[in-house]
Structure formats: C-alpha cells, structure tokens
Chains A and B, each alone.
Chain A
Amino acid sequence: MSERLTFVHAADLHLDAPFRRVDAAEPRVRDACVESTFAAFERIVEVCIERDAAFLVIAGDAYNTAERSFRAQSRFRAGARRLAEAGIRVFLAGGNHDPASAGPVALDMPDNVHYFASGTVERVAFPSEKDPVCVLYGRSFGRARETANLAREFRAAPADPFAIGVLHANVGGNQQYEPYAPCSLDDLLAAGMDYWALGHIHQHQELAAEPPIVYPGSPQGLDPNEAGEHGCVVVTVGSSGATTEFVETGQVAWDRRSVHLADAVTLDDVLAALRASCENARGAADGRPVLLRVDLVGRSEAHAPLARGATFAELVAEVRAEQLAIAPWVWLDRVRDLTKPALDLDRVRAGADFAADLVRIADELTADEAATLLDDVLDPVRSAARDVDLDFDATALLERARDLCLDRLLAGEEGR
C-alpha cells in the first residue's frame, strides 16, 4: 500500500481493576491508584487524537468483566465518544478478563466501537470493504479459560492491502501468565498478517520485527511485579511496511529497591539511605508518583537499633510521611528490615553454648522441614485470611527468625 496509515495498539487496560499487593493506606495514594487505569486509558485516547490515528486496537482485557464495574464501562464509553468525535474507530477483541461468555457490556457504546466476534475470526475492512486501506482480523475469547490455539484460525487474504491480526494470547508459553489461547511464533507467522496486535502479557514486548508481532503491555502496572514502562504502541504503516513507537501512559510507577546498610551504624544512617532510595526512585519515575518497596539488607551495626522495639516502624512512618509531602510523591508501600546482626555467624556456630545450638538447629532444618514448621505456625492465620497471599519463603523466614533470636540472646537486656 502507498497510503500512509497510523493506528494505536493497546491491550490489557484492566479498567477499574484493583491493584494487587499494595498497602495504599493513604487516601491520596489510594485515590491515585484507583484512578490510574482510567487516566492511562485517557492518555491513550489523547495519543490517538494527537497522532491523528485512524483507529485504536485493543487486544483484550479492556476491563475486568468480573468486577462488573459500571464506572469502568462509563469511563470507557466516555473515551470512545471522544474518539468518535475525532473520527477515530475502536476495535476490541475480548480477552480472558472480558470474554463473550460474560455477556455484553451494560452500557451502550457509541457506533465507532466494534467488538470482534468470539465464535470465529472476524474480518473487517477499513475504512470500507469497497475501498480498504487495511483489513483487521480479530477474535474475542468465548470464555475466560480459552485453551484453544486461536492463532491457527487466522489467515490473511493475498489481496489484503495491509492485514492486522488482533488476538489475546500467550505466545510461547510465558510461565508468568495464564496459558490462555496458547500459540507459537510460527503459528502467528503462518497467518500471513502484516502486523500482529497482541494482548495478555503486561510487559511491552516485540516478538518479531518483520512482520511486527507486538505486545504493547498494560497501560498501567497493576502490582509490584509490573514495574517499568507501561503504555501503548503507535503503528505507522507506509509503503515500506509498519514502524512502531512505544508511548508511555502509566500514571503511577512501581519500584522495588534494596538498600544495603552494611556501612550504616546509626538510625540517621538508615534514614539517609532510605531517603536516598526514595529520591532515586522519584528520579527514575520521570515525574510520576511512585509506589516503592524497599528491603533494608546487609549485615549492619544498625540492625540492633532497628530491631529495638517500635523504632523501625517509627522510622518508616517518618520517611513515609516526608516522601508523601514531596511532589511527585513516593509512597513507601512496604519496607522490610532484612538486615542481619553484625556478628560472625560461623564463630557462633562453632561455639558450645546455647546460641551455637540454636544456629545449628536452624542449619539442620531442611527446606521441607522449614516449610512444615512455617505451615504449622501460619496455618491458623491462613485459615482466617484465605484471600491473603501468605506464601513466604520458609528458609528465608527461618534465617530471619534465627537472627532475631541471636539478636535478643546476645544483645542482653538491650534486646528485650
């Protein structure tokens, strides 16, 4: 084709989906998190308008049908209306979070919104069948747990000026995501598409360059494991093929850092290190607010004062309040004190006293025994908190328990 065409490819909006694994106790932080998926979608709408896109492709999971959020649908409809006013169409394929089996959305969508069929691969010529500039092939999930290889059903026609495949799928069996609509790269290449607009993986990935096979990633990271850039892809199609440009849309950044306190002696040293970590996170977020997780690590002289009474909690509260007052804010979602006492463990282990016995007992526990011991300890909590993630690394916790004992035993009265 010779005519220039620009479209925007997004996926996994998860509008109104709750964040996971975050302690957003502060109302301001909570509100920002709640609003972030909507704001990210609105940024995509702005990108479409700014780039004079012909259409927006959303490759699944526009919103979580399970939540049945009218607000999500309402906000999506508002964005679609803005696009309609700009003459921009919207093509959606349902994913595992918004499959056809969940029923249609409750709110009427404007005419520029098109949902791909779920029973078969649907072909839509753009802008019209009579004079197409490109052809979109899309298929929505019929049910959430779609295990069939849907990619094999896609086949571009030789006469298509430019063929775009739209699908929510797990390509290559990514273990970090549910294995829905599994397929291989070869399956996608065999379809003869000129561009594959994929969804499901929340990190931006370009699986192939010719033709482009792209996961745009989610526009907003939803949990601590979704740090990094999140956005959409602007695709420009010209006579020489398609070129892609990733555009950041995330509204709240996730970050996770380890602060080494080997050189820290006093609590002031710990405060300084924690503040520096916050500043580094703020600097890396490019003007966005940050949800930051910090682990204080290392064998440190500061371990003892940190472990004393409520010191650690007070220290974290101080930095948390302080960082929240700076714009853009950094929210210390979680700070763990994983520091170790500044003692020679081998020397303790070699002794013949109570501490040596304790270290050896910890050493002697196998991973399974540690897990069993942990289960024994935690099962009452688990039974009371079934929807809380209480899967911890038993070995790591055992080490922390051992160090805690040594702290208290060897620190004497100060440790009490």
Chain B
Amino acid sequence: MMRLTRIEAARFGRLHDATLGPLGDGLTVVLGPNEAGKTTFTALVRYLLYGFPTEKSVSERPYLSEAGTRAGRLVFESAEGEWIMERTAGPKGGPSNVRALRGPERPGLIDEITSGVSEQAFKVVFGFGLAEMAAIEHLRGTDDDIIARLYAAGAGLRVSPQEVRSAIESDAEELYKPRGSKPLVNTLLAGARDLRSKISALEHDGQALAADRARLTQLAADLERARIERDETAALSRTLLEEARVLADLEQTVGDTEEQLVTLRREVRDASAALGAVTVDDSALERSADITSLSEELSAFRQRLESVAELEGKVAALAAESEGYLAEAGLSAESATAVDASPETRAGVERWRDRLLIAEQRAAAAADERAVASEEFRAASRPDDAAGSGTRDLAASLKIVAWAAVASGVVLAALGAFLSQWLVFAAGIVLAVFAGALALGARRALVPGRADRSKQEELERRADQATLAAKRTTQDLIAARSEWAEWLAARGLADVSEPAAVVRVLELVTDARRRDNERAQAAERLARESGAVAAYIAQVTAVAGALGIPAPTGPREADATVVRLRERLATARTSAEAATRAQERAGAAASAVADAEARQASAAARAQEIIERLEVAGGLAELSAIVERAETAAAEAQERWGALKSEHASLETLVGEREREDTMGALRLDLVSVNERISGHAERYAVLSLASRLLQRAQERYERERQPEVVREAERIFSMITGGAYERLSVPLGASAIEVFDASARAKDTGRLSTGTAEQLYLALRLALIGQLGETGAALPVLMDDVLANFDPERKAGAAAAVAELARTRQVVVFTCHPETAEVLREAAPEIATISLDRC
C-alpha cells in the first residue's frame, strides 16, 4: 500500500528546507504552535500534487518564498519501492519530476495517486482545514459537488444524476431562460418581435399605399383637368399668336405691296415704250401660211422637176417599143386596134388548132380507109360480078342513101355539140339512128344466100362506107376551115390562117398594147407632175406678187423666189415676236399692278377685320400685349401640369414598386421561419426540461427510498460524533441545504446548526465519503488542519474515534496546535505517530 512518508518544503512560504516526517501508515498527529507551518504543509501537499498557483493568484494563496522559486518534494513508499516527487513553481503549475529512491521508476506516479480526485475534491475532502469545512455544502450544484459524487458512487453510476441534471439544465438554459436575452429561443423571440414590428410597419405602409393609390387617382383627375387647362390656354395662346402674326403679316403686306406698285407701274411704262419701237412686216406675216407652205413644199417641188424630166424620156421609149411590136406583127396601128387579143381569143385559137388538126387527121384516115376498102371490094367482085346485081343494086342504093343519112346525122350532131346547139345535136342523133336502122335493113336485103356473096357484099358495103366516110371527113375539114376563117375575121385577124401564126400575132399585139398602156400611165403621171410644177410656180408667182417680189420666169427662178420669201418671213416673225414680248411684258406689268392693288386692299380689309373681331383698337401693339399675357398663362398652366405630371409619375412609380416589392412576403416567411425555429428549439427545451424534471423526481425517489450507503455512513458517523443527538441526515440532491434530524426527528438545516455541530456534520460527511471511495485516491493522505478545534470535549472524543476508525484504512495526518486534541486522538488510536513542529 502506497503511503506518503515525508513532506519536504524546499522553498514555500515561510518554510525553507523544512521536512515533515516520517509520517505513519495510519494516524499521525502533527502538534505545533500557531505559525509552525501546519496549514502551509497542507497546502504544499496539494500544490505538489496538482501544481503551484501563479504568483498573482487571488483564488489560491500562492505562498511565495523569499528564498526563491517555490519548490518542494513528496516521498512515497510502498512494498515495491520508494519514490520522490519534486515540483518547482512555473507555468501551468510548474514542472514535476518523479524519481525512484528505491525500486522501479514510476514516472506516472502523480496521475496514479490523484486519479479520480480533482484538485478541488482534494482540497475539500482530503486536505482541508476549518476554512474548507463548509465547502462540502457550498460546492453543491457545481462540477465539484461532493455530495453528488457520493450519490453517484452509491447509485452505481459513473456520473452523478445531479451532474447530468445540471448539464441538462445548462443545455436547457442555453435554449431558453424566462427572463434571459442570450439563449437561442430568447434571441429568436426578440427577432420575431422585430419581424412583427417590421411587418406591422409594412402593413402600415400598405395602408399608406392604399392612401397613395387614392392620391394617385385624385392626381390623375387633377392632371386631366390641368391638361385641359394647359391645352386650352396653349390653344388660346397659339390662336392669338397666330392672329398677331397674321395681322403683322397683313400690315407688312400692305407696306410691301405699295413698294411693289411703284416698281410695277414703272415696268408698265417701259414695256409700252419698247412696243412702240418695233415695226412688224404684216404683209409677210399675213402670207406666212403660204410662205411656210411653199417652203415646206420646196423640196417636193425640186423632186417633182426631176420626175418630169424622167417621165418625158420614159413615154418616148415606150411608144417606140409599141410601134416595133406592131411592125413585126405586120399590123398597122389602126388594124392592130381591131385585133381581139384577149385571153379568150387565145384559148379559142388553141381550141381551133386542135379541132382543125383532128379534122385533117380524120379526113386523111378516111381517105386511106376508102382506098383500102375499094381495093378489097374490087378484088372480091371480080369472079361473079353480075349475080343478083339488080336487087343488090337497089339495096345497095338504099343502103348508100341510108348511110349518107347516118353521116348527115352524125355531122349535124357534131355541129350541134360544137356550137352548143343541143337541139341540133339531138336532131343529128335521131337522124343518124334512123338512117342506121335503114342501112341495116338494106344490108339484110343485100345479103346473098351464099357465103361468098355475103363476103362480097360485105366488102362492097365496107368500100361504100369508106367512101362515104372519106367524103364526110373531107367535108368536115372544109367546113372547119371555113368556120376558122370566119372566126379569125371576127377577131380582126383576117390576114393570117395558121393557128401558130395567129398566136404570134396575138403575142405581139399584146406586148404592143402593154407598152401603150405603160406609156399612157407615164404620160398621165407626167401630166400630173407637170401640172403640179406649174401650180407651184403659179403659187410662188402669186405670193411673190403680193409681196412685191418679181414673178419667177421658170422653175429655177421659182426656187430662188421661195428662198427669198422664206427669209423675209423669218425677219417678219422676229419683229413680231419682239413686239409680242413687249406687249406681254406691258400686260403682265399692268396685271401685276392690278393684283398688287387688290392684294393691298384685301390685306388692309383682313387686318381691319382682325382688329375689329379681337377688339384691339390699338392694333398690333395691343394684340402683342394680349398674346404675351396669354403665353404667360399657358406657360403657367404647362408648369402646373408638369408639376402634377411629375408628382403623378413619381407616385405611380412608387406605388408600382411597392405593389411589386416582395419585402412583405419575405418578412412573413422570415417570421414563419423564426417561429418554426422557436418551435424546434422550444421542443428541444421541453425535452431537456422534462428530462430535468424526471431526474429531479428520480433523485427524490432515490433519496427517499434508496438513501445511499455513503449518506447512511455519514449519518452513523455524525450520530457517533454527536453522541446520538442527531440520528438522521438528509442530503437532498439539488437542494441547497443539508438537513439533519435530531432524536425527536426534528429537521434542521445547516444554517440553524451551531458552528461546531455543522463542522461535525461536514467532518462526518467527509469521513463517510472517503470511506466509500474504495480505490479512488487510495494513496492520498487525508490532511486535517485543526478541524476539531471548535468541538466540545465529548464530541471531540467522538470525532477522534471516527478519525481513528478511518485511519485504519487510510493514511490520516491531523495538524493541531492543541495538545489536548493530540491527547484525545492518542486515546482513540494508541498506535498513533506524533510529530512536533516548532514555530517557524
């Protein structure tokens, strides 16, 4: 078991190289007079274990040493060895050192010894004097609540319920205090009040906004009235200004016009003089149309002269050609006139040529056939030429007649067809058919009964027919040629018979006639051109004569005359234009004079009308004064309107901004947020507060039903010290006072106890607590500094017995300056060690 054997004060207060020891394992009494250093040694032990206070500490006595830096040593001993613990004052309590005097090194010895015992607990419980006696009660509710520790130890908890409760209440107070300002909820409540105040202000602003809107409406009406007034005054001002301007213009016009009239009248005079100076060739101008016409036609006249010469040549050439053609045709000019050279004639020639050719060809063919047939008949009739010749002669004669009739019919029909005489044609056909039938009958009568006769008859008949045919065709040809001759004669062509020659004559006549026609046309044109030339010359002659110019003697002279006429007309026109311009100028000037006079009169009249209408007899000067007043009024109205407009616009902008601003919404939500936070923290506060209440109730129950062993032990010790005067203790957790109950069960709190009895109670509590600590602080000595001084002898003996009882399990050192106290302790604990101290 570790024990403190020696306390050495190197430099500490009054102590200088002072040693206290050796100390006993159980109870040691250190007896010494006042100022012997008992209290100093008690403090030195604590400082060496927990550190020196600073030199300027006010909470702890520093025990400064005149010998130098404070320092001291503690020597501990156990069965394993002996160690010396040194400490010198310095920062953070000063450096410490543990050395082994014997046995193994134990550098952590200090921590081992002090484990579980705070410096405050040591001061109150282990190393205490009368000054610290009451602290065991006064420290309640703090981290060094000794009694709470008693409970914790007794309740099997590592922390005391009171400590937990204190911590919880501390947490709760961080959240809310009924009259606090810093806790969270209090801060938030203040914030909420601030927000409500702002919202209220904004709501007030909202009412102001409503008022502003009403004001805005009123302003709009005022603005409209001001606008009307402004417009009316401005319009009046403008009207008057315009009237003044018009009046000024009119007066200006009257003056200006007067000046213009002088100029214009001078102009009239000048123009008239210029007009008189001009001589105009009126005769030329009167003939200007003719001269102009002649001038325009001069070019045509010249061309026409050339055309006349050309046409004269052409007419002569064509006449010569015509005569050449007629000479070739063998026609005189008179006979040629009778020739019908029309296209019909030409076509008729063609037809005649074909007809004559056919007639000739037929006549030739018939002659040939008759020769052949006659030869064949003569050949066949030679043997029996006489048989039946009578009958045959008759028949043959009939037949010949019949065939002649047929031929006549055919010729008649052909003639009818040629002449387009259809009755003749029909009669011919009928005749031919009848005669044909008769001929056939005669032929039957001529048919011999024998074959050769038939053949002979046949050949005879053929010869006859051929003869008839030849005769007929010959006649036809003669008739045709006769008709052809008549036909030609009828067309003036008696001197030619061959169709080809007729055709050539017709061509020559036609050419001659064409040339005659062309010549006639040329001659006609020549006549026209010549007439025109003559007419032109006649016109020139007439115009020239009218203007006193000699008449032209021929076309060339006429040309020169026209040039002269044209030049004269140009000169006349120039003069006339000059005269016209002068006249126009004079007229314009006169007109301008008239206009100016009218304008002047009109302006004067209008000016008078304005003066009368506006009743400004003073004229423009008076009107200008009125205008000035109107403009001032308009400017004032404009200014009023502008001011209203500006106010309206500003207010409208302000109202608009305030209508759009979302400050109110944000503030409301901020308030909701703050309230929500208050709610959250209040909930937490409620939990903490309820926890505190639960702990309080549990403590009360525990205190009531499960008084801890340590309290019961204190109760026993207190009863022992007081000789049974007080039998029970109540150490309510969290309460401010400890209560004691006397033999009559009357409760007293410590405030009502005598000093001695209270100190006895505190001693009893300490002894009980140390007795219950077990291994906690087992190596720490219990240092009591004259704590029995105020006890009466009986209670001092009881207390000595209690101390002696503790000294059986713990090292106890009792400092006293009272020998009787040492004696009482010695009686209570015969094995006590005693150390005497001299006054320092």
Contacts and interface: CB of A to CB of B under 8 A. Distances in A.
Does A associate with B in a complex? Answer: yes
Interface of A: 16, 18-25, 30-31, 33-35, 67-71, 73-74, 106-107, 333-334, 336, 352-355, 357-358, 361-362, 373-374, 377-378, 380-381, 384-385, 387-390, 392, 397-398, 400-402, 404-405, 408-410, 412-413, 415-416
A358 B673 contact: no
Given A387-B675, A412-B159, A398 B682 contact: no
Contact of A106 (B151, B210, B673, B693): B210
B164 A409 contact: yes
B660 A404 contact: no
A21 B672 contact: yes
Given A381-B685, A384-B189, A390-B679, A354 B161 contact: yes
A360 B701 CA distance: 11
Given A23-B673, A392-B686, A401 B206 contact: no
B106 interface: no
Contacts, number: 186
A58 to B, nearest CB: 20
B833 to A, nearest CB: 38
- Does more than half of chain B's interface fall in helix, strand or loop, or is it mixed? helix
Contact of A74 (B176, B189, B660, B665): B660
B691 A409 contact: no
Nearest to B156: A353
Contact of A31 (B158, B189, B666): B666
B665 A71 contact: yes
Given A18-B668, A19-B669, A416 B686 contact: no
A389 B675 contact: yes
A74 B699 CA distance: 63
B163 A30 contact: no
Contacts of B694: 358, 361-362, 398, 401-402, 405
A374 B686 contact: yes
A408 B209 contact: no
A25 B159 CA distance: 38
Interface in B282-334: none
A358 B689 CA distance: 14
Interface of B: 151, 155-159, 161, 163-164, 167-168, 176, 178, 185, 189, 192, 203, 206, 209-210, 213, 658-662, 664-666, 668-673, 675-680, 682-683, 685-691, 693-695, 697-699, 701-702, 705-706
A400 to B, nearest CB: 5
Nearest to B151: A354
Nearest to B143: A416
Nearest to B161: A354
Contacts of B691: 401-402, 404-405
Contacts of B683: 336, 390, 392, 397
Contact of A404 (B155, B675, B685, B687): B687
B236 to A, nearest CB: 35
Contacts of A378: 682, 685-686, 689
Contact of B209 (A70, A354, A387): A70
Contacts of A68: 203, 206, 210
A397 B679 CA distance: 13
B662 A71 contact: yes
Contact of B155 (A70, A354, A408, A412): A354
A340 B158 CA distance: 20
B676 A22 contact: yes
B159 A415 contact: yes
5 contacts: A334-B680, A357-B701, A384-B189, A392-B683, A402-B691
In the A-B complex, list the 9 residue pairs whose CB atoms are closest, starting with the nearest.
A401-B690, A412-B158, A18-B668, A401-B691, A358-B698, A34-B665, A377-B689, A70-B659, A23-B676
B793 to A, nearest CB: 41
Contacts of A390: 679, 682-683
A357 B706 contact: yes
A71 B688 contact: no
Contact of B164 (A20, A73, A387, A405): A405
Pick from B178, B209, B213, B666 the residue with the most CB of A within 10 Å. B666
Nearest to A412: B158
A385 B161 contact: no
A24 B698 CA distance: 40
Nearest to A387: B675
B673 A30 contact: yes
Given A30-B669, A401-B687, A408-B167, A361 B659 contact: no
A22 B189 contact: no
A73 B678 CA distance: 32
A398 B685 CA distance: 12
Nearest to B206: A68
B316 to A, nearest CB: 104
Nearest to B154: A354
Contacts of B155: 353-354
Nearest to B704: A357
Given A378-B682, A405-B164, A408-B164, A24 B672 contact: yes
A413 B178 contact: no
Given A373-B693, A398-B690, A385 B678 contact: yes
